[in-house]
Structure 1
Amino acid sequence: MTTHTELELRHYGHADAGAIRELLLDIHDEVYAGSDDPLAGRDAFAKFVDHWSANEAFACVIAYDQEQSVGYAYGAPLSPSTTWWAKVTPSLTDDFIAETGARTFALSELMVRTPWRGTGAARRIHDDLLASRREQRATLLVHEDHFKVCALYESWGYEAMGEAVPFDGAPRLCVMVLRLKNSAD
């Protein structure tokens, strides 16, 4: 485990997507090396990177420790036509799932390379990404079998809202929501 605690947190957006794409994929490949998850392969994950980064409101934070990449988090606001909430069980109220394009930030990915795990790097990256968000809340999905990860997010203030299998081939995921303190409402 690294002892460096000074991280440089760099912000990127939609216009930077092409420049950071390979780095995002390379870190993902390292983090998921040896995984038997069919969605963990580079080609499958690249589709997610491309989908999220195509959103003009895409936001990404990449952490560096002395110019070495540590990890990242990225996402984008849910659009009014999102299907994010469609397969959540138990069903959520219409008021809860109504999206405006500025109500909910979907945190699509948060990952940290092994040498920096357990150092607080994930929390710093997460908090930095969400610090300037104006949405009312953030949401994320966690594999339901990853109990420690779910508990970690709960310790950060997230609340489990239900479960979902968002698309064919996806595992059962825990749907979590965090009220953002800096929201405009």
Structure 2
Amino acid sequence: MTPPLDLRHYTSDDRELLLDIHDEVYAELDDPLATREAFATFLDHWAARPGFACLIGYDHGEPVGFAYGAPLSPDTTWWHGIDPQPDDAFTRETATRTFALSELNVRKPWRGTGIARRIHDTLIADRAEERITLLVHAAHSKVVALYEQWGYRTIGQTVPFDGAPLLHAMTRQLRT
């Protein structure tokens, strides 16, 4: 049975809540990029972007997960370093063409319940962009397969900055 879900838009008052959820989700991983400090930097960077959107899911008042992202700007470096490199027509951004999903986190007790998909789908349901993109750890084959089930396709691989793991760059059309 799918648990009930109350979805609320993020406010700056929710910052610590997102940090706490992220800490719990990544507690068992030995990933230097998943520390609270590193995530706080990523969150602050994304939250300051024009068009930032974040939804937090609650089950009977209990926070269970969140997703956030923002449109890619014309000067984005998102597509740099992807192998194979997509052509210029694919990577040209307008600040209204591509929504980048930066994070989707669901706490362990609610994984496998459909909550992640509901948060994701609600976050992007009213987006005006043509497509959505995300980066996912190449080593996490189950997560890659899940995104493929949701309609994403891998366009290449990248290591976007020093210390980052190998990531799949994935896209999904929202509208034509």
Q: Give the Cα–Cα distance (whole angstroms) in 2 for the partners of residues 77 and 56 of structure 1.
A: 7
Q: Specify which of 36, 56, 72 is matched with residue 42 of structure 1.
A: 36
Q: Spell out structure 1 runs of 4+ moving beyond 2 A.
A: none
Q: Specify which of 14, 18, 21 is matched with residue 24 of structure 1.
A: 18
Distance apart, 1:11 and its partner CA: 2.0
1:99 aligns with 2:93: yes
Q: One-letter code of the match for 1:29?
A: D
User: Paired residue for 1:7?
Assistant: 5
CA RMSD of aligned residues (A): 1.0
Q: One-letter code of the match for 2:143?
A: V
Residue deviations 1:7-42 (CA, integer Å, cap 9, x gap): 001123xxx2x2111111000000000211110110
Q: Specify which of 95, 111, 118 is matched with residue 112 of structure 2.
A: 118
- Structure 2 SS opposite 1:62: strand
Structure-2-length-normalised TM-score: 0.97
Distance apart, 1:103 and its partner CA: 0.3
Q: Give the Cα–Cα distance (whole angstroms) in 1 for the partners of residues 49 and 60 of structure 2.
A: 30
Percent identity reads: 62
8 Å contact from structure 2 (residues 50, 71) kept in 1: no
Could you tell me which runs of 5 or more consecutive residues in structure 2 were left unpaired when the two chains were aligned. none
Q: Give the Cα–Cα distance (whole angstroms) in 2 for the partners of residues 39 and 19 of structure 1.
A: 24
User: Paired residue for 2:126?
Assistant: 132
User: Paired residue for 1:72?
Assistant: 66
1:44-59 mapped onto 2 (5 Å cutoff): 44-59=38-53
* Count of aligned positions: 176
Q: One-letter code of the match for 2:130?
A: Q
1:156-167 mapped onto 2 (5 Å cutoff): 156-167=150-161
Could you tell me which runs of 5 or more consecutive residues in structure 1 were left unpaired when the two chains were aligned. none
User: Paired residue for 2:140?
Assistant: 146
Q: One-letter code of the match for 1:152?
A: L
